[in-house]
Amino acid sequence: MSQYVFTSESVTEGHPDKICDQVSDAVLDALLAQDPASRVACETVVNTGLCMITGEVTSNAQVDFIHLVRNVIKEIGYSGARAGGFDATSCAVLVALDQQSPDIAQGVNEADDHAGDPLDKVGAGDQGIMFGYACNETPELMPLPISLAHRLSRRLAEVRHNGSLNYLLPDGKTQVSVVYENDKPVAIDTILISTQHTAEVDGISDEQGIRERITEDLWTHVVEPATADLALKPSREGTKYLVNPTGKFVVGGPQGDAGLTGRKIIVDTYGGYARHGGGAFSGKDPTKVDRSAAYAARYVAKALVAAGLAERAEVQLSYAIGVAKPVSILVEAFGTGKVSNAELTNLVQQHFDLRPGAIIETFGLRNLPQQRGGRFYQDTAAYGHFGRPDLNLPWEDVSAKAEALQKS
């Protein structure tokens, strides 16, 4: 019997890097909502009292970026006396956005390999490799460790926003270790939660007393509700449970650490359980295959698992800048496939159009912000881009494709 422990982490929306991802995607949403053809590559940096957005934008949209940035920061929870050194109303906001390079634009505007098909004319916005993954460990076909870590992070933010635990502040992280036997999850080994909090908690000011109070509150208000519907649950007796191991976490957010867009790519995807091509998602319009092709790869992998063709599936795609068709497609089922990896790859080539233009059209990626009231990508920028039961993500709806694959 093979036994091992696998660990994944998540972070809350108030983590400095996640602030940056949300700001970058809020910029993308605002531009696409007005001009769905906008080309956007927006990077954000935060530090104590500072938020700067930079990158390349080509768009007909007119956006008040400073107002937009302040609203995102305020919504996360950094405002007023509890802002902890990073206040939405007083932080400096710098805007340094240029136009997209014409050398890049020409390859996206007209692909090198087109033959008149409109979808052939959209070339990849860059070269690169992208991975998608799915497995049957959870109802959303995600690995259990990252699914649990995101559940805890989302719940941690929820009890802060609704006032259930009014001493919580925006910054926080979760980490979950799961025991596997013969590649199946059998127990939750460790839960770790680090959460920013006020210097005093309901009159308690000593470090040990605060930590004990937070430890009990988080088990009752976060851990138990977040895992209540699972067959595999943590227990106080059998699960190691760690909260704020350093003792306290008062200084957090951009006052404690600088943040950058794209530094939480493993949190955004599969928690390290599957490979990653290295490209970040946030702040990038759909012509950037770092984002759109990673969504497509997840869609393919999830469809294969949902169709019962494999218990686990990883899909690799690769692209060349200015070329529409993928350079390569590979499916790896890790010995769980009902047919060979080569046959699975052939099925993917027959059933999925993975040209950037086709991916954009299939998922409606350019029009989603406009269709959803001006906001779509910002909601994906925290708590993961895949397996989101709280969001209606087009690349997660594989029912029709899974049915077609079953019939093939």
Q: Is 150 one of the annotated active-site residues of the chain?
A: no
Q: Is 284 one of the annotated active-site residues of the chain?
A: yes
Q: Is 240 one of the annotated active-site residues of the chain?
A: no
Catalytic residue of the set 268, 290, 314, 396: 290
Catalytic residue of the set 56, 110, 112, 224: 56
First to last CA, the chain: 35
Catalytic residue of the set 9, 13, 17, 217: 17
Catalytic residue of the set 212, 257, 343, 397: 257
Tokens representing residue 400 in the block: 């029709």
Beta-carbon contacts of residue 61 (< 8 Å; ≥ 6 apart) = 30, 31, 32, 33, 34, 35, 38
Catalytic residue of the set 70, 114, 160, 288: 288
Task: At 263, give phi and psi (nearest 5°).
Answer: -100, 5
Catalytic residue of the set 61, 187, 258, 404: 258
Q: Is 183 one of the annotated active-site residues of the chain?
A: no
Catalytic residue of the set 86, 249, 376, 386: 249
Catalytic residue of the set 6, 9, 13, 18: 18
Q: Is 263 one of the annotated active-site residues of the chain?
A: yes
> What is the rounded radius of gyration, in angstroms, for the C-alpha atoms of the chain?
22
Catalytic residue of the set 70, 150, 155, 173: 173
- The answer to whether residues 274 and 341 touch, using CB atoms and an 8 Å cutoff, is no
Q: Is 15 one of the annotated active-site residues of the chain?
A: yes
Distance set, CA 176 to CA 13, 194, 234 (Å): 18, 12, 10
- The answer to whether residues 368 and 334 touch, using CB atoms and an 8 Å cutoff, is no
Alpha-carbon distance 210 to 192, whole Å? 17
- The answer to whether residues 208 and 257 touch, using CB atoms and an 8 Å cutoff, is no
Catalytic residue of the set 39, 114, 211, 264: 264
- The answer to whether residues 112 and 123 touch, using CB atoms and an 8 Å cutoff, is yes
10 Å Cβ neighbour count for 345? 18
Q: Is 75 one of the annotated active-site residues of the chain?
A: no
10 Å Cβ neighbour count for 99? 11
Asked whether the CA dihedral 405, 398, 303, 1 is positive or negative, the reply is: negative
Catalytic residue of the set 114, 150, 160, 263: 263
Task: At 286, give phi and psi (nearest 5°).
Answer: -65, -15
Q: Is 25 one of the annotated active-site residues of the chain?
A: no
The SS3 assignment for 4 reads strand
Residue 295's closest CA among 287, 80, 107? 287
Catalytic residue of the set 13, 21, 25, 43: 43
Burial (CB count within 10 angstroms: exposed 0-12, middle 13-18, buried 19+), residue 116: exposed
Catalytic residue of the set 6, 9, 13, 15: 15
- The answer to whether residues 53 and 69 touch, using CB atoms and an 8 Å cutoff, is yes
Q: Is 288 one of the annotated active-site residues of the chain?
A: yes
Q: Is 216 one of the annotated active-site residues of the chain?
A: no
Q: Is 43 one of the annotated active-site residues of the chain?
A: yes
Q: Is 233 one of the annotated active-site residues of the chain?
A: no
- The answer to whether residues 123 and 111 touch, using CB atoms and an 8 Å cutoff, is yes
10 Å Cβ neighbour count for 4? 9
The number of C-alpha atoms within 13 Å of 251 and in the hemisphere containing its C-beta is: 7
Residues labelled as active-site residues:
15, 17-18, 43, 56, 173, 249, 257-258, 263-264, 284, 288, 290
